Amino acid sequence: MAKDTSELVAAAQAIENETRRLEDLAYALEKTKLQSEKHINRAARELQDALSQQEQLASSLRLLGQAMANMQERQQAAVSALSARAGHMQERRSRLSELMIRYAALGTKAAELLQAISATLEAADKATAVTSALENIAPIIDEANELAKTAREEDFTEVAHEADVLKQKFQAIKNQLGAGKPAPN
């Protein structure tokens, strides 16, 4: 069997060849005249060859059955691998969805905080507004940092990047407020 010829193809080809040989032997035996002892002896040898060929064909059919069983095992292994991968994909999709929901909630908190900071900085007591803003920014930074860390650990690089960007933006706002500069919009 050639290296790139499958077990199934090789077994089927052997059966085809052996079946043709058996058919040829049967045809030749049918045409043999049984007029003399010599002819009858030759026909007996041809019949013996045909019976041997039938045994070889039966053996090849068993090999084909085994090849088909092997093919079925290969198919089952492939289907099992696909099923496992599909399960893993579903788990990853579900986990990504959870992280994206966390990111969206964090984004909503961040937007609300920016609106609150903008409104309170216009108030008369700027020092109290800055202190309050700094206190409210810290949890956003911590949550963004935790989300980025979790996403990186789970190999969700895009979510990790987006959470890092959000963290950096709020860190910059915190630094600006701490330095007494106005926060960007």
For 65-85, what is the HEC assignment?
A: HHHHHHHHHHHHHHHHHHHHH
DSSP annotation of 4 reads T
The CA-to-CA distance between both ends of the chain, in Å, stands at: 74
* Pair of tokens at residue 95: 């986990």
Q: What is the pLDDT of residues 21-47, one digit of tens each?
A: 999 989 988 888 889 999 899 899 989
Nearest CA among 170, 117, 120 for reference residue 142: 170
Instruction: Give how far Cα 83 sits from Cα of 7, 69, 93, 154, Å.
Output: 26, 21, 15, 21
Q: How many helices (H) and strands (E) does the chain have?
A: 4, 0
pTM of the predicted protein model: 0.65
* pLDDT at residue 3 in the model: 54
* pLDDT at residue 2 in the model: 47
Find all residues with CB under 8 Å of 15, minimum gap 6, and list them.
Answer: 57, 60, 61, 64
Please answer whether residues 163 and 148 qualify as being in contact, where contact means their C-beta atoms are separated by less than 8 angstroms.
Answer: yes
* pLDDT at residue 121 in the model: 76
Instruction: Give how far Cα 36 sits from Cα of 17, 41, 42, 77, 105, Å.
Output: 32, 9, 10, 61, 101
Domain ranges of the chain: 7-82, 89-178
* Pair of tokens at residue 35: 């007029």
Amino acid occupying residue 153? E
Nearest CA among 156, 42, 22, 137 for reference residue 99: 156
| Residue ranges, the chain, pLDDT below 70 | 1-4, 123-124, 180-185
Q: Which residues of 61-89 are buried (b: 16+ CB within 10 A; e: fewer)?
A: eebbeebeeeeeeeeeeeeeeeeeeeeee
* pLDDT at residue 160 in the model: 97
